[in-house]
Amino acid sequence: MHKQHAADAGFPGIAFAILPKTGETIAIRYGERLYYRVESSKTADELNAIYGVTPTQAKAMLASAMSGWGKPSAG
pLDDT (tens, 9 = 90+) of the chain, 75 residues, equals: 444 455 556 789 999 999 888 999 999 999 888 889 999 999 999 999 999 999 999 999 998 888 877 654 444
Sign of CA dihedral 30, 16, 58, 17: positive
